[in-house]
Amino acid sequence: MYFQKEIETMNRKEMSALQLERLKWTVDYCYKNVPFYTKKLDEAGVTADKIKSLSDIKYIPVTTKADLRDNYPFGLFAQPMKNIVRIHASSGTTGKPTVVGYTKNDLELWSDCMARIVTAGGATSEDIVQISFGYGMFTGALGLHYGLEKIGATVVPNSSGNTEKALMFMRDFKTTALVATPSYALYMAETARELEYPMSDYNLRIGLLGSEGCTPEMRNEIEKAWGIFVTDNYGMSELIGPGVSGECQERCGLHFNEDYFFPEIVDSETLEPLDEGEAGELLVTTLCKEGIPLLRYRTRDITRLNYDVCKCGRTGVRMEKVLGRSDDMLKIRGVNVFPSQIESVLVANEKIGGQYQLVVRREGFTDTLEVKVELGDESILDKFSEIEKVQKNISRNLQTVLGIQCKVSIVEPKSLERFVGKAKRVLDLRNENK
Ligand code: ZN
């Protein structure tokens, strides 16, 4: 049930003491080994001995993704290259990616984090786990890979792409667990249906899904399609990859690996700490990392923390599923819109499929939002009035949830682009007309 019980069920007082000791170590380590931090900490007048309690962390300046990009590729590394044994890079869509390096100890720590999370999600040494994340510079696949091997599971490093072959392995190997993005898990189910093997040929029982958002409705759809139990996990390559936090089988928040990562919630505009339970931007400080330690890294993810002990017995603080990203948030006619809100409306409608695209345009001085969705129920493909009904229903529900009007376009089944990795759902054309 636990991978490292003594850490996962440690009481708050002991955990805080451990975190404080490690925070002081990290500040000192950054100061001595990363010129970027020497300068920043000098400017802020912070040294390790000035940190007397965890709340003193607020005196430390934050680190941003731009800081990593500005120091591309290895400027924030705290160890010489001979001690770095692995390099990964983020899937940055614009400009230079962010590059991260791991020492041997970092890889060990990462495997521990992942082993705890997959165990919490229900995986055991009996499982045959197919990893359908793309291998390569992206941290997702290898992160899960080492964690699963550590607990003794059988890993099938299938990677992404060639879905039919992946499904063949899944049937022939009697694969019991799937690692994938939620949208790819759905796409695999869609392909499995098309191939017309009976679903009883598949032996899947759990899904360890992650690397992109997943609403409860989408999760239901995946669970129904595959007949599996799905848990979510959270992380990002800058911090380590997946492994920062993950759901246990109670699924009431993601347990943080707090002995390695210290979380804070701040107001994303003022960076002021918020009270326990309030929603704000998550900042994370690495507590043991050697390759590229980060102080108060701005994740841009909006969430809240819950320090109550979980029913599963784990004491690690739980973060709520990410509510949205402070920089993915779309501002449309002055209203904050998170793609996840739209997704929750779409997935609730049985007549449409799981894929969608959001197109934002500027017409004159007004922003418009078009939501493109695929018809899921092919039996009404030719029935204009039925389709119109679906469209009106979605329009109305979106208006209720978002507070703004948007155009809903229903397109033919399977006509929207499919993504193997993270789905690119938003097409913002507003700047192109300038
Ligand atoms: Zn729990």
Higher pLDDT, 402 or 393: 393
Percent of the chain with pLDDT over 90: 71
Same domain, 409 and 361: yes
Mean pLDDT across the stretch 225-249?
Answer: 96
Domain end residue (candidates: 295, 325, 355): 325
With cut-offs at 50, 70 and 90, classify the pLDDT of residue 218. Answer: confident
Mean pLDDT across the stretch 104-115?
Answer: 98
| CB atoms near residue 59 (< 10 Å) | 12
With 0-12 / 13-18 / 19 or more C-beta atoms within 10 angstroms meaning exposed / middle / buried, residue 95 is exposed
Q: Which of 231, 184, 222, 206 is nearest to 127 (CA)?
A: 206
With cut-offs at 50, 70 and 90, classify the pLDDT of residue 424. Answer: confident
Query: Distance between CA atoms of 272 and 157, rounded to whole angstroms?
Result: 43
Here the CATH number for the domain that contains residue 424 is 3.30.300.30
With a cut of 50, say whether residue 115 has pLDDT above it. yes
Question: What is the pLDDT, as a whole number, of residue 114?
Answer: 98
Q: What is the DSSP track for 332-380?
A: ETTEEE-HHHHHHHHHT-TTEEEEEEEEEEEETTEEEEEEEEEE--GGG
Question: What is the pLDDT, as a whole number, of residue 433?
Answer: 45
Mean pLDDT across the stretch 219-228?
Answer: 95
Q: How far is the CA of 309 from the centre of ligand 1 (A)?
A: 8
With a cut of 90, say whether residue 247 has pLDDT above it. yes
Q: How far is the CA of 179 from the centre of ligand 1 (A)?
A: 20
Same domain, 212 and 98: yes
Q: How far is the CA of 364 from the centre of ligand 1 (A)?
A: 50
Please give the residue range of the domain that contains residue 185. 1-325
Lowest mean pLDDT among 87-101, 106-120, 148-162, 229-243: 87-101
With a cut of 50, say whether residue 70 has pLDDT above it. yes
Q: Which of 166, 184, 198 is nearest to 423 (CA)?
A: 184
Place of tokens 């970027």: 36
Same domain, 376 and 414: yes
Same domain, 143 and 54: yes
Q: How far is the CA of 9 from the centre of ligand 1 (A)?
A: 10
Q: How far is the CA of 251 from the centre of ligand 1 (A)?
A: 7
Q: How far is the CA of 222 from the centre of ligand 1 (A)?
A: 22
Q: How far is the CA of 312 from the centre of ligand 1 (A)?
A: 4
Q: How does pLDDT run across 256-290, given as a tens digit for each residue?
A: 999 999 999 998 888 999 999 988 999 999 999 99
Considering the domain boundaries, does residue 433 fall inside one?
A: no
Strand (E) positions, 148-296?
A: 154-156, 177-180, 206-210, 229-236, 241-247, 254-256, 261-266, 280-286
Domain end residue (candidates: 325, 347, 364): 325
With cut-offs at 50, 70 and 90, classify the pLDDT of residue 92. Answer: low
Same domain, 205 and 78: yes
With a cut of 50, say whether residue 434 has pLDDT above it. no
Query: Distance between CA atoms of 206 and 121, rounded to whole angstroms?
Result: 8
Mean pLDDT across the stretch 399-423?
Answer: 83
| CB atoms near residue 164 (< 10 Å) | 11
Same domain, 97 and 126: yes
Same domain, 172 and 108: yes
Question: What is the pLDDT, as a whole number, of residue 420?
Answer: 67
Q: How far is the CA of 8 from the centre of ligand 1 (A)?
A: 10
Domain end residue (candidates: 293, 308, 325): 325
Mean pLDDT across the stretch 209-213?
Answer: 84
Q: Would you state the structure tokens that stand for residue 5, as one six-digit string?
A: 């019980």
Q: How far is the CA of 119 from the centre of ligand 1 (A)?
A: 11
Mean pLDDT across the stretch 175-181?
Answer: 96
Same domain, 321 and 334: no
Q: How far is the CA of 174 from the centre of ligand 1 (A)?
A: 28
With a cut of 80, say whether residue 327 has pLDDT above it. no
Q: 267 and 280 in contact (C-beta within 8 Å)? A: yes
Same domain, 155 and 56: yes
Question: What is the pLDDT, as a whole number, of residue 222?
Answer: 95
